[in-house]
């Protein structure tokens, strides 16, 4: 099976050396794109492939786009516990992202788009640490408040033995995506989400380590408080797939009420937990209008 799919899913991508590691980074547009730079950050257990259609269309509209696979995920390097210094903590993900942005020569401030659990949440806490680097922030379905439910996958990963077994299930990522969406992935797309977990045990162990290092409730609480009125003043778009099976619409509404003068809420009908995969055209319409018009 690996030989059939091993070259799939690398649209717009190349390997970039940053510090001790190689990141797989998708890029569309160019540094002289007239409308600025967008950085897209994915959540777990997915990777940057989910943004391929959105970033292609956004570069056609005049933006320069980057979408990296977080370390341990997708096609980026998989640091090994006990052999590398990387220990899958929030601070380490932040530090390595800082290094990558410098290598990519991303000019500040830029537009940031974030989606998903765990490393997606780390994208949001990175923004809270670096508000001066952000021009505008767009959030797709992500845990944003202390009331955000935790999907069963992440609960299982934290249980001894069951977590190890779950992390090495090669079809875990595609099943997680499908379970959060009103649609079933087509085979060619499912192949790409499955590929990193088929190719080695590294992504599974990375997911396991990261899930056991994070306090999900704490990070969701910090995100809710950090983007509330009086704490955050940059424009925020929450573009929410209303058919998300993991995170109810009430999470987005509660988050928006915390800072109503800054946070714009857009509901996306027909999309689930990953709107960028389910309905990229609607995501592009929302991002383009927000980045160009909303202040």
What pLDDT does residue 5 have? 46
The torsion angle over the Cα atoms of residues 185, 189, 190 and 195, rounded to 10 degrees, is: -170
Residue 245, pLDDT score: 97
Task: Report how far residue 254's alpha carbon sits from residue 144's, in angstroms, rounded to the nearest whole number.
Answer: 9
pLDDT given at position 295: 66
Distance CA 44, CA 60 (A): 28
Q: Write b or e for each residue in 101-114: b if 16 or more Cβ atoms lie within 10 A of its Cβ, otherwise e.
A: beebebeebbbbbb
Residue 236 pairs with which residues in a beta bridge?
Answer: 137, 263
Close Cβ partners of 263 (under 8 Å, ≥ 6 residues apart): 227, 236, 237, 238, 255, 256
Q: 3-class SS at 186?
A: coil
Residue-level pLDDT at 83: 57
**CATH code at position 96:** 3.40.50.1820
Residue 3 has a pLDDT of 43
Q: Whole-angstrom Cα distance, residue 225 to residue 170?
A: 36
Radius of gyration in angstroms for the set of CA atoms belonging to the chain, rounded to a whole number: 18
pLDDT at residue 4 in the model: 46
Query: Partners of 44 in the beta sheet?
Result: 117
Q: Give the number of domains in the chain.
A: 1
- Measured between alpha carbons, how far is residue 182 from residues 172, 273, 274 in Å? 17, 9, 10
What's the pLDDT at 85? Answer: 83
State the residue range of the domain holding 91.
2-293
Q: Indicate whether this model's pTM tops 0.75.
A: yes
Distance CA 97, CA 58 (A): 22
Give the residue ranges of DSSP H helices in the chain: 2-5, 52-60, 90-103, 119-129, 152-157, 162-167, 172-179, 187-199, 202-213, 216-226, 249-257, 275-278, 280-293
Distance, CA of 115 to CA of 238 (rounded, Å): 10
pLDDT of residue 80: 82
Work out whether strand 21-28 and strand 134-140 pair parallel, antiparallel, or are unpaired: unpaired
The whole-angstrom separation of Cα 276 and Cα 91 is 27
Q: How far apart are CA 216 and CA 149, in angstroms?
A: 10
Give 10-residue mean pLDDT values along the chain (295 residues): 61 94 96 93 97 97 97 94 80 97 96 98 98 98 97 96 92 94 92 92 94 96 96 97 98 98 97 98 97 84
**Amino acid 8: pLDDT:** 81
């Amino acid at each position: 099976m690996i030989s059939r799919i091993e070259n799939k899913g690398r649209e717009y991508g190349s390997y970039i050396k940053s510090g001790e590691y190689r990141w797989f980074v998708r890029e569309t547009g160019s540094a002289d794109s007239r409308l600025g730079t967008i950085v897209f950050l994915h959540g777990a257990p997915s990777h940057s492939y989910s943004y391929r259609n959105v970033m292609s269309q956004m570069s056609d509209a005049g933006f320069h786009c980057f979408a990296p696979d977080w370390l341990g995920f997708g096609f980026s390097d998989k640091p090994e516990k006990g052999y590398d210094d990387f220990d899958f903590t929030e601070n380490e993900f932040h530090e390595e992202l800082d290094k990558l942005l410098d290598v990519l020569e991303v000019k500040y401030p830029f537009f940031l788009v974030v989606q998903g659990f765990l490393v997606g949440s780390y994208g949001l806490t990175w923004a809270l640490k670096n508000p001066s680097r952000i021009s505008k922030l767009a959030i797709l379905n992500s845990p944003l408040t202390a009331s955000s439910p935790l999907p069963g996958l992440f609960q299982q990963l934290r249980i001894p033995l069951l977590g190890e077994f779950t992390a090495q299930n090669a079809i875990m990522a595609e099943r997680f995506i499908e379970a959060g969406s009103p649609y079933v992935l087509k085979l060619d797309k499912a192949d790409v989400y499955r590929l990193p977990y088929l190719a080695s045990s590294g992504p599974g162990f990375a997911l396991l380590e990261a899930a056991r290092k994070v306090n999900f409730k704490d990070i969701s609480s910090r995100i809710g408080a950090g983007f509330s009125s009086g704490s955050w003043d940059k424009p925020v778009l929450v573009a929410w797939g209303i058919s998300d099976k993991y995170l109810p619409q009430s999470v987005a509404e509660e988050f928006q009420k915390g800072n109503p003068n800054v946070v714009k809420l857009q509901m996306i009908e027909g999309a689930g937990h990953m709107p960028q995969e389910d309905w990229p055209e609607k995501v592009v319409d929302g991002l383009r209008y927000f980045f160009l018009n909303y202040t």
